[in-house]
Amino acid sequence: MHLPDLRAFLSELSENNQRAWMAMNKPRYDILRKEFLELTSALIDWLKHIDPAIANTNPAKAIFRINRDIRFSHDKSPYKTTFSASVVPDGRKKPSEGGGPAYYFQFNAQGILLFAVGEYMPPTHRLKQIRDQLISDGDGFLMAINKAEFRSHFPEMLSEGQLVKVPRTYPADHSMGEWLKYKNFIAVNEIQYVGMTAPEVVDRLLTAFRCAQPLIQWLRSSHQRTCKFT
């Protein structure tokens, strides 16, 4: 993938986020999208050796559409200014539907590659499963996220939307109380992709995603293990 061309396209799109501009630049977009699909395919081909669960993921279904859903938004800009993908076992593009942890990455117009692993804003039933797992196997979660290698690639867990208090269905004084307040269970990082080649990007993502396997597996195990506190 020609990353300088991608950044130039996204930068121009940011300044000209209109359907007329996109129509004139559709050939550029088509080439870049094809290249992004090839990069995503290459990533999945390597990643499936680390995580066989995603072996049958369709790369085309992993890629997000560039069109924005503006029906309920004050911002009527028709296009996203990122190229992004979410790799999950069943190929769904929205891990928020409760399908379990995802491998996510996106390129933006500022030359930033954001990559993440975990679950972003899981629905209520899924969030309960994760919180129950924190009660029954909090040590496993802490071991997964506190390893030095993991932290070197994912320095923070996203705390967006964190609750002020422990949910009332769980012991307020539990040792995992701070984590029970979380509404996201996703680790994130950002790096500059300026100057990188597509193979270097794939290698960087694979290295990071390999280190995140303990967290991925811990989150998947929470599908099976639940407990109830009243």
Residue of 220, 199, 217, 223 whose CA lies nearest to 43: 199
Which residues have CB under 8 Å from 52's CB, separation 6+? none
pLDDT by residue, tens only, the chain of 230 residues: 999 999 999 999 999 999 999 999 999 999 999 999 999 999 999 999 999 999 999 999 999 999 988 887 888 899 999 999 999 987 654 544 556 899 999 999 999 999 999 999 999 999 999 999 999 999 999 999 999 999 999 998 999 889 999 999 999 999 999 999 999 999 999 999 999 999 999 999 999 999 999 999 999 998 655 444 43
DSSP state, residue 64? P
How far is the C-alpha of 124 from the C-alpha of 132, rounded, in Å? 12
How far is the C-alpha of 126 from the C-alpha of 96, rounded, in Å? 9
* Fold held by 3-221: BirA Bifunctional Protein; domain 2 (3.30.930)
> Position of tokens 């924190």?
134
DSSP state, residue 183? S
How far is the C-alpha of 62 from the C-alpha of 84, rounded, in Å? 9
pLDDT at 100: 82
Which residues have CB under 8 Å from 213's CB, separation 6+? 50, 51
Going by their DSSP bridges, the two strands 185-192 and 112-119 should be labelled as: antiparallel
Helix (H, G, I), strand (E, B) or coil at 153: helix
Is the separation of the CB atoms in 134 and 122 below 8 Å?
Answer: no
- Give, to the nearest 10 degrees, the angle between helix 198-211 and helix 26-50: 40
